[in-house]
Chain A
Amino acid sequence: MASSSIFAAVGTLLANGPGILLLSALVASLVLIWDWRWAIAGAATILLGVSSLAAALHEPAPAVTAAQWLASLVSLLLLGLSAYLHRPGATAHPHGNWLLRLLALGFLAGAWWMLDPGVALPIFTRVETDLLIWIGLCSALLLGLSAAPFSTGIGLLLLTAVAQNIAAVLLPGSGLAVLVGIAQILLALGCAYAMLAQPVRTSRWQTAPARRSAQAIEPTAAPQPRPSRLFPGRVIRPRRPSGIEEAAETLKIASSPGAGASAKEGV
């Protein structure tokens, strides 16, 4: 029971109004604050907090809560490590800015408040049920806002946490909570793999300022070969101008005053 009391003690801290509100706000912040470090820290707090809350209120076997903690920490470690090693996989932008995400969250909360379908899970208290549903809704929003492997991984982990809690409380002794923990680790492994396998993209907006500044220094000069970013010793030769660019250049020369004079002389 010693280990049970540890989890339950953590859960008791959260098993009150401010604790539940804190967890709910943390879930919402994962949608609003689009930063991988915040997402890892927030998801860890939510996953451990929700399982501790169940330990405090429903007293499942301590081994089950310990397995939940272990699976959550291992999964988030995997996601965090791959995000640290391969930033492009983790820093992909969502579909929409913070205002749109705030509106989406507000709409979600408002719709839930207005409709209130009265979903009630057996054994769970109403507040717990609402917290689990809120986590599920925010996870679904997270999945919908970006197809990036990192945010998909966080969203899916939060959704599996809901399932894991239900299994630990409603189907005790079935070993399902442990099975969900294994599934969580496999899922995080898959997302980490997808993140590491993501090809690095160089947006044209990233290269544009360099080109613009070079043109600003010497606007009429011929394009200079620029050093390669990956291998600075090598030089990337400027590409051959396309047909359209050649035609545009000819028109530009023809329309310049000096060119007009020479054309008249030709006539």
Chain B
Amino acid sequence: MNPIEPVGLPFLPLLFVFFIAAASASFLLSAWPRLVAIVGAGAAALLAAWIWSLNMSLPIWILPFGVNVDLEAPLALSGYFLQLRAANTPVLAAYLLLAALALLLGALHAHDALFPAQVWLLLTGYSALALLVNAPTTPIVIAPVLFVMLTALSIYVLHGGRQKEASAGLRLLTPPVLATPLFFAGGWWLEQIPLNPQDLALMQTAGTLIGLGILILLTPFPLHGAWSASSESSPPAAALLVALFYQLGVLYLAAQALNLYPFIFRQTDWSVWMSALGLLTAIWGGVAAIGATHAGRLWGYAAIHDWGLIILAMTAPGLQSWTLVLFLFALRIISMMTGAVGLIALERQVGSLEMQRLRAVGLRMPWSSAAVLLGGLGLVGFPLTAGFAGHWAALQSLALFDWRLAMAILLAAVGAILGFVRLARLMFGMQDAPLTMRESALNVGTALGALIVTLIVATSPQLLSALLERILTAFG
């Protein structure tokens, strides 16, 4: 830790006080959810841009009136140290950006007055997870407990005050709870390695336990059920926020673990298991999407297919590349956002996302319907969508290693595409009784904005390279 006293005001306590104040204010002003969400989104986006632009080689921020802010001053709580470093700055900015996008989606359809406060609370927790740099034991071992806490908080977000069961959120708790004892036992073996560095058995045991823990946290098939269930039963904005926060957290944890303890990869069969389960996840996402009867669930299965490919890109021998993983994840954010914009508008107008109730809705709400289709197809790498470049790059690399794996993923993607074709036929098919609903100007504007972003990224994916290079510093 930095033994020097902070020069001026420490930054991190200010940041967390701001988060808590924003959550409290959002709760107190919950009578105006739309206004609160828009103001919150603006604040989070500005903070994200500022943190992204920070130059951590100059850790003192000089304000007017002679007040300085020490950006690197650690925040210590009972031996646990949180610190802003060059490595975790992009991750914090990414969390803030995701929170801003979720708040904007929440403003589109104020499904739950408490949603903005919940977003700020989740943001506080995930920021603490990203900023944890030192603890009485290695921070990697502590992370699953924090995941348990944060997924427990996600139950309220996913329920969204609806008159429905909240079992999707509960199912999300199972993977971190299962992974926690593995990380703890692995942590004990990690502590033994310095006492006997020549003993390979110690490394193998620690690597196996922590690798298995990360594998469970990544929720591959068959632990994926919570994601598809939450896509159906929860508001799309809530499902998007919880999924992306959790998955970014797990990816960052995996990157930290692999950088700190490379033997997890080298001296165990971790990569083989992981890539096999990633492949199964991608295949299952595509196959299950064929029979989906709910637009939200279809979106969820497409996201599972995409997540399987990300797991594969992270672990498959011959393919392992954090650049590709981050590229796929960035495209995933854009595709999921576009899909969510459309789903929110359709759900608001129709009252449900059951496919039978979406019959002919595309004729009255073409922009929102197009956003659902383009966003969903982006998640399976359909040409001219945001996800195409990433999926194509991953498939090409995978085909060099083994063409049969690439073909299996391609066939699964075709399955998901068939699901979206079925949805498109329903949405743009004729109906005897004319529909009376209309697409509001706000819905047209947001759907159009999302579609433009999707098309720009689809045609010029190189625009993301500067962002990816910066985030890559956090993932090694």
Which residue numbers of A lie inside 8 Å of B, CB to CB?
121-123, 136, 143, 147, 149, 152-153, 156, 159-160, 162-163, 166-167, 170-171, 173-176, 179-180, 182-183, 186-187, 189-191, 193-194, 197-199
| B136 adjacent to A194 (CB under 8 Å) | no
Residue with the greatest number of chain A CB neighbours at <10 A, chosen from B159, B165, B187: B165
Q: Interface readout for B157-178 with A: 1 if CB under 8 Å, 0 if not?
A: 0010001111101110110011
- New A-B pairs, 20, CB < 8 Å, besides A170-B184, A194-B167: A122-B189, A147-B167, A156-B174, A162-B181, A163-B180, A171-B137, A171-B187, A171-B188, A173-B136, A174-B135, A174-B136, A175-B79, A180-B180, A182-B149, A191-B155, A191-B170, A193-B159, A194-B159, A194-B166, A194-B170
> Which single residue of chain A is at the shortest CB-CB distance from B78?
A175
| A171 adjacent to B171 (CB under 8 Å) | no
| B393 interface hit (Cβ, 8 Å) | no
| A183 adjacent to B148 (CB under 8 Å) | yes
B164 cross-chain contacts in A, Cβ below 8 A: 199
Shortest distance in angstroms between B238's beta carbon and chain A's nearest beta carbon? Answer: 14
> Which single residue of chain B is at the shortest CB-CB distance from A136?
B181
A199 cross-chain contacts in B, Cβ below 8 A: 163-165
> Which single residue of chain A is at the shortest CB-CB distance from B176?
A183
Q: How far is the CA of A103 from the CA of B153 in the complex (A)?
A: 36
B62 cross-chain contacts in A, Cβ below 8 A: none
B20 cross-chain contacts in A, Cβ below 8 A: none
Q: Interface readout for B67-95 with A: 1 if CB under 8 Å, 0 if not?
A: 00000000000111000000000000000
Shortest distance in angstroms between A65's beta carbon and chain B's nearest beta carbon? Answer: 17
A174 cross-chain contacts in B, Cβ below 8 A: 135-137, 141-142
Give B121-153 interface residues, CB cut-off 8 Å to A.
Answer: 135-137, 141-142, 145, 148-149, 152-153
| B156 interface hit (Cβ, 8 Å) | yes
Nearest 9 CB-CB pairs, A to B?
A: A194-B166, A190-B155, A186-B152, A170-B188, A163-B180, A174-B137, A174-B136, A190-B152, A163-B181
Shortest distance in angstroms between A179's beta carbon and chain B's nearest beta carbon? Answer: 5
| B464 interface hit (Cβ, 8 Å) | no
State which size class the interface on B falls in: 35 or more
A197 cross-chain contacts in B, Cβ below 8 A: 159, 165-166
Q: How far is the CA of A163 from the CA of B135 in the complex (A)?
A: 18
| A198 adjacent to B184 (CB under 8 Å) | no
B188 cross-chain contacts in A, Cβ below 8 A: 122-123, 170-171
Q: A156-B173, A173-B136, A199-B164 are in contact. Are A179 and B185 (CB under 8 A)?
A: no
Q: What are 17 A-to-B residue pairs whose CB atoms are below 8 Å? A: A147-B171, A159-B177, A159-B178, A160-B180, A163-B145, A171-B191, A174-B142, A180-B145, A180-B180, A189-B152, A190-B152, A193-B166, A194-B166, A194-B170, A198-B165, A199-B163, A199-B164
A-B CB contacts (within 8 Å), total count: 109
Q: How far is the CA of A129 from the CA of B246 in the complex (A)?
A: 31
Q: Interface readout for B331-343 with A: 1 if CB under 8 Å, 0 if not?
A: 0000000000000
Residue with the greatest number of chain B CB neighbours at <10 A, chosen from A174, A175, A186, A198: A174
A136 cross-chain contacts in B, Cβ below 8 A: 181
| B173 adjacent to A149 (CB under 8 Å) | no
> Which single residue of chain A is at the shortest CB-CB distance from B225?
A147
Q: Which of A166, A170, A180, A187 contacts B152 (CB 8 A)?
A: A187
A170 cross-chain contacts in B, Cβ below 8 A: 184-185, 187-188
Q: How far is the CA of A173 from the CA of B79 in the complex (A)?
A: 10
| B145 adjacent to A149 (CB under 8 Å) | no
B191 cross-chain contacts in A, Cβ below 8 A: 171
Shortest distance in angstroms between A83's beta carbon and chain B's nearest beta carbon? Answer: 15
Q: Which of B78, B165, B177, B189 contacts A194 (CB 8 A)?
A: B165
Shortest distance in angstroms between A154's beta carbon and chain B's nearest beta carbon? Answer: 12
Residue with the greatest number of chain B CB neighbours at <10 A, chosen from A173, A197, A198: A197
> Which single residue of chain A is at the shortest CB-CB distance from B205?
A122
| B185 adjacent to A166 (CB under 8 Å) | yes
B184 cross-chain contacts in A, Cβ below 8 A: 163, 166-167, 170-171, 176
B180 cross-chain contacts in A, Cβ below 8 A: 160, 163, 180
A121 cross-chain contacts in B, Cβ below 8 A: 185
> Which single residue of chain A is at the shortest CB-CB distance from B159?
A197
B185 cross-chain contacts in A, Cβ below 8 A: 121-122, 166, 170
Shortest distance in angstroms between B73's beta carbon and chain A's nearest beta carbon? Answer: 22
Q: How far is the CA of A198 from the CA of B165 in the complex (A)?
A: 5
Q: Which of B153, B163, B171, B189 contacts A186 (CB 8 A)?
A: B153
> Which single residue of chain B is at the shortest CB-CB distance from A139?
B177
| A187 adjacent to B173 (CB under 8 Å) | yes
B79 cross-chain contacts in A, Cβ below 8 A: 175
Q: Interface readout for B408-452 with A: 1 if CB under 8 Å, 0 if not?
A: 000000000000000000000000000000000000000000000
| A171 adjacent to B156 (CB under 8 Å) | no
Q: How far is the CA of A232 from the CA of B247 in the complex (A)?
A: 51
B171 cross-chain contacts in A, Cβ below 8 A: 147
A175 cross-chain contacts in B, Cβ below 8 A: 78-80, 136
> Which single residue of chain B is at the shortest CB-CB distance from A153?
B170
Give B327-354 interface residues, CB cut-off 8 Å to A.
Answer: none
> Which single residue of chain B is at the shortest CB-CB distance from A186?
B152
| A194 adjacent to B174 (CB under 8 Å) | no
| A193 adjacent to B145 (CB under 8 Å) | no
Q: Which of B80, B137, B173, B178 contacts A190 (CB 8 A)?
A: B173
| A194 adjacent to B145 (CB under 8 Å) | no
Q: How far is the CA of A150 from the CA of B109 in the complex (A)?
A: 31
| B156 adjacent to A190 (CB under 8 Å) | yes
Shortest distance in angstroms between A11's beta carbon and chain B's nearest beta carbon? Answer: 20
Q: How far is the CA of A97 from the CA of B415 in the complex (A)?
A: 37
B166 cross-chain contacts in A, Cβ below 8 A: 149, 193-194, 197-198
| B170 adjacent to A152 (CB under 8 Å) | yes
Q: A176-B145, A183-B148, A187-B148 are in contact. Are A193 and B156 (CB under 8 A)?
A: yes
> Which single residue of chain A is at the shortest CB-CB distance from B174?
A143
A193 cross-chain contacts in B, Cβ below 8 A: 155-156, 159, 166
Q: Which of A153, A166, A173, A183 contacts B149 (CB 8 A)?
A: A183
B187 cross-chain contacts in A, Cβ below 8 A: 170-171
B189 cross-chain contacts in A, Cβ below 8 A: 122
| A166 adjacent to B155 (CB under 8 Å) | no
B156 cross-chain contacts in A, Cβ below 8 A: 190, 193
A147 cross-chain contacts in B, Cβ below 8 A: 167, 170-171
| A183 adjacent to B167 (CB under 8 Å) | no
Q: How far is the CA of A173 from the CA of B137 in the complex (A)?
A: 9
Q: How far is the CA of A223 from the CA of B171 in the complex (A)?
A: 44
Q: How far is the CA of A136 from the CA of B177 in the complex (A)?
A: 11
Shortest distance in angstroms between A27's beta carbon and chain B's nearest beta carbon? Answer: 16
